[in-house]
A and B are shown apart, each in its own frame.
Chain A
Amino acid sequence: MKDSRNSLVTAPYLLWSVGFIIIPLIMIIYYAFTGPDGSFTTRNVGDIIYFVNMKALMLSIALSLVSTCMCLLIAYPLALVLTQVVEKNSSLMALIFILPMWMNSLLRTFAWQNILERKGVLNGILVFLGLQPFYIINKPPAIILGMVYDFLPFMVLPIYNSVSEIDKDLINAARDLGAGSFQTLYRVIWPLSLPGVISGITMVFVPSLTTFVISDILGGGKILLIGNIIEQLFTQDSDWNAGAGLSVILMIFIVISMIITAKYDREDG
């Protein structure tokens, strides 16, 4: 009786996950391991060894790592400050930092393009002030900046949640037992906020690794990340097999990164 009712409730979600997750996944894998004529091949997946693809993948990983680290460095102190400001206003403050998420990410990225352009807003101000203009547009730092700006809220939110869930008496207890502010942070707050840090890392690293919009707009089409290559294979070259092959490679990297973080989470949590 109970079982049949349970299956009734879960049926829509089961249908959803089969229709929109499992089947697309199988199709990706199917395309990845077949040629244009439908015969089995490992050539698509093997394409990753080409210099241009490998370079794009490595650059993607490097930029994603850097932007994840920067997000963490910015978000953690920010989350601490947010939880410590006058408690009544803290959720309002958090909201302000989450607010950019409500705007279209494409729009936000175009805004950065406008700001960073050779004759953009930033350089306009610098020149007006008699300072050296600053050229980072179409270079990796601009892409990192775009990633950090776009994905920072995904780091702030889980960390803020996990820090604000820490019982104030645990912090008081640490102080009571002789720990100064830094010791309390290092021995109590940090380890107890790790679940938030882990999910923040995942939520920034994965979209950074797969993005092609940010690198397209702020890289001026000159810097190819793995996401750009996959996008081009699907849209410009209409080579679904090659695109799916690289997608599978990218998925493997994402799964590996999630296994590493999950393992770290278990060991510390």
Chain B
Amino acid sequence: MSNKLIDLQNISKSFGGNLVLDELDLYIRENEFLTLLGPSGCGKTTTLRIIGGFETPDTGSVLFEGKDITNLAPDKREVNTVFQKYALFPHMTIAENIAFGLKIRKKSASYIKDKIRYALKLVNLDGYEKRMPDSLSGGQQQRIAIARAIVNEPKVLLLDEPLGALDLKLRQDMQYELIRLKNELGITFIYVTHDQEEALTMSDTIVVMNQGYIQQIGTPEQVYNEPENAFVADFIGDSNILPGIMIRDELVEILGARFDCVDKGFGENNPVDVVIRPEDIDLVSPGEGTIEGIVTDTIFKGVHYEMCVMSRGFEFIVHSTDYYPENIKVDLKVNPFDIQIMHKPESEDEKAVEIDERLP
């Protein structure tokens, strides 16, 4: 998994004076499930379209197995795309849709027939050959779109928010389906989504993007547990993000109280951002914690209670399986390794310190 299969170098792209990607560098390894994650307008779809060949970058180059393919037409690339709204050809049967790429490559009729059967089996839709796309449900159409792409044996499958139009239950089923497909096919998946849960569930590597910049690259655990900045922390999962002052290594001051932490190298008396996940805060009896507060709101969420705790003017979100009624006084306690210290960015869209946390 160490080869750079696709290498994006210094890619910039703007549409009508609006800069969508700014000097982006990113490589994708062979057999990796890499997810581009970010809010709409962050440049994730544009990145995918540049890899697919539907957009040409203003600057920079796209290397595929070391060869420059920046200006190569989509039909000449060894990648296939699964489009957001499936884009099945409405005038063709399911079999004709799947055979489209193979017919263009002039494969023999028996080869095409075998491939159609294999692909339909793979996506659990045997026997659908003669159906028309509009007679299928959204989830089925999505799986046909995947089948149509993979029969061409691409080295990379590009997926543009493929589950976006499906309902929640189907979306969760399809996530497992995609992981299974990826393992069976043994090819590289590049997946675009704004859904952090999808990204965390399926990916080997998550690339968090915002405003045309990469904010962080890492495994789902790294991105969730060690967010590089406030944007990443906020975008992935619920989080409490507070301003703090790094007193010295392993000691941070938040809301006037001092907390032990495990981070080093932020200098002394420097302003920082601090992230504490809601599930990492323990509510204890008054006098037993680091900082006092009062429960202002309690909602039952099924697995846990979600509580708002007002403490020195900051409203913490706390997830706990223990129930605390509203208006009760509590103390908050956080384990040192659950406190994540981050550099404070100079401005909203400042280029993040691009740390690729993948092992080389």
Chain A 168-181 interface mask (CB, 8 Å, partner B; 1/0)? 01101111111110
A188 at the binding interface (Cβ < 8 Å): yes
Instruction: Verify A178–B87 contact, CB threshold 8 A.
Output: no
**A268 partner residues in chain B, CB cutoff 8 A:** 91
Instruction: Verify A172–B83 contact, CB threshold 8 A.
Output: yes
Partner pick for B104 among A167, A170, A179, CB 8 A cutoff: A179
Q: A183-B104, A187-B100 are in contact. Are A176 and B89 (CB under 8 A)?
A: no
Within 8 A of A (CB), among B32-57: 52-54
**A177 partner residues in chain B, CB cutoff 8 A:** 75, 80, 100-101, 104, 148-149, 152
Chain B 57-93 interface mask (CB, 8 Å, partner A; 1/0)? 0000000000000000111000111011101111100
Shortest beta-carbon distance from B79 to chain A in Å? 8
Instruction: Verify A174–B100 contact, CB threshold 8 A.
Output: yes
**A183 partner residues in chain B, CB cutoff 8 A:** 104
Instruction: Verify B148–A167 contact, CB threshold 8 A.
Output: no
A192 at the binding interface (Cβ < 8 Å): yes
**B84 partner residues in chain A, CB cutoff 8 A:** 169
Instruction: Verify A170–B73 contact, CB threshold 8 A.
Output: no
CA distance A252 to B26 in the complex (A): 68
Instruction: Verify A176–B91 contact, CB threshold 8 A.
Output: no
Shortest beta-carbon distance from B109 to chain A in Å? 17
CA distance A184 to B25 in the complex (A): 33
Shortest beta-carbon distance from B64 to chain A in Å? 15
Within 8 A of B (CB), among A177-217: 177-180, 183, 187-188, 191-192
* Residue among A167, A170, A176 facing the most chain B CB atoms (10 A cut-off): A176
Q: A178-B105, A192-B90, A192-B91 are in contact. Are A173 and B81 (CB under 8 A)?
A: yes
CA distance A167 to B87 in the complex (A): 8
Within 8 A of A (CB), among B127-181: 148-149, 152
**A192 partner residues in chain B, CB cutoff 8 A:** 90-91
Shortest beta-carbon distance from B322 to chain A in Å? 50
Instruction: Verify B148–A170 contact, CB threshold 8 A.
Output: no
Shortest beta-carbon distance from A34 to chain B in Å? 49
State the majority secondary structure of interface residues on A.
helix
**B88 partner residues in chain A, CB cutoff 8 A:** 173
**B74 partner residues in chain A, CB cutoff 8 A:** 172, 175-176
**B73 partner residues in chain A, CB cutoff 8 A:** 175, 180
Partner pick for B87 among A170, A180, A269, CB 8 A cutoff: A170
Instruction: Verify B152–A178 contact, CB threshold 8 A.
Output: yes
Within 8 A of B (CB), among A235-269: 268-269
CA distance A177 to B150 in the complex (A): 10
Shortest beta-carbon distance from A176 to chain B in Å? 5
CA distance A179 to B101 in the complex (A): 7
CA distance A188 to B103 in the complex (A): 13
**A170 partner residues in chain B, CB cutoff 8 A:** 87, 89-90
Q: Which residue of B lies closest to A175 (CB)?
A: B74
**B79 partner residues in chain A, CB cutoff 8 A:** 176
**B83 partner residues in chain A, CB cutoff 8 A:** 169, 172-173
Chain A 139-169 interface mask (CB, 8 Å, partner B; 1/0)? 0000000000000000000000000000101
Instruction: Verify A176–B104 contact, CB threshold 8 A.
Output: no
Shortest beta-carbon distance from A253 to chain B in Å? 30
CA distance A173 to B83 in the complex (A): 8
CA distance A182 to B236 in the complex (A): 45
**B149 partner residues in chain A, CB cutoff 8 A:** 176-177
**B53 partner residues in chain A, CB cutoff 8 A:** 175-176
**A173 partner residues in chain B, CB cutoff 8 A:** 81, 83, 87-89
**A180 partner residues in chain B, CB cutoff 8 A:** 73, 75
**A176 partner residues in chain B, CB cutoff 8 A:** 52-54, 74-75, 79-81, 149
Within 8 A of B (CB), among A36-54: none
CA distance A239 to B52 in the complex (A): 70
* Residue among A167, A169, A180, A192 facing the most chain B CB atoms (10 A cut-off): A169
Q: Which residue of A lies closest to B160 (CB)?
A: A169
Shortest beta-carbon distance from A192 to chain B in Å? 6
Shortest beta-carbon distance from A237 to chain B in Å? 51
Instruction: Verify B81–A178 contact, CB threshold 8 A.
Output: no
CA distance A190 to B80 in the complex (A): 23
Shortest beta-carbon distance from A151 to chain B in Å? 27
Shortest beta-carbon distance from A123 to chain B in Å? 48
CA distance A164 to B100 in the complex (A): 22
Q: Which residue of B lies closest to A192 (CB)?
A: B91
**A188 partner residues in chain B, CB cutoff 8 A:** 89
Shortest beta-carbon distance from B3 to chain A in Å? 23
Q: Which residue of B lies closest to A167 (CB)?
A: B87
Shortest beta-carbon distance from A59 to chain B in Å? 37
Q: Which residue of A lies closest to B105 (CB)?
A: A178
Shortest beta-carbon distance from B343 to chain A in Å? 40
Chain A to chain B: the 6 pairs with minimum beta-carbon distance, closest first? A177-B101, A169-B87, A173-B87, A175-B74, A178-B104, A176-B81
Name 4 extra pairs, CB < 8 A, besides A176-B149, A192-B91: A170-B87, A172-B83, A176-B75, A180-B73
Residue ranges of B at the interface with A (Cβ–Cβ < 8 Å): 52-54, 73-75, 79-81, 83-85, 87-91, 100-101, 104-105, 148-149, 152
Supply 8 A–B pairs (Cβ within 8 Å), ascending by A. A169-B83, A169-B85, A170-B89, A172-B81, A175-B53, A175-B73, A176-B75, A179-B75
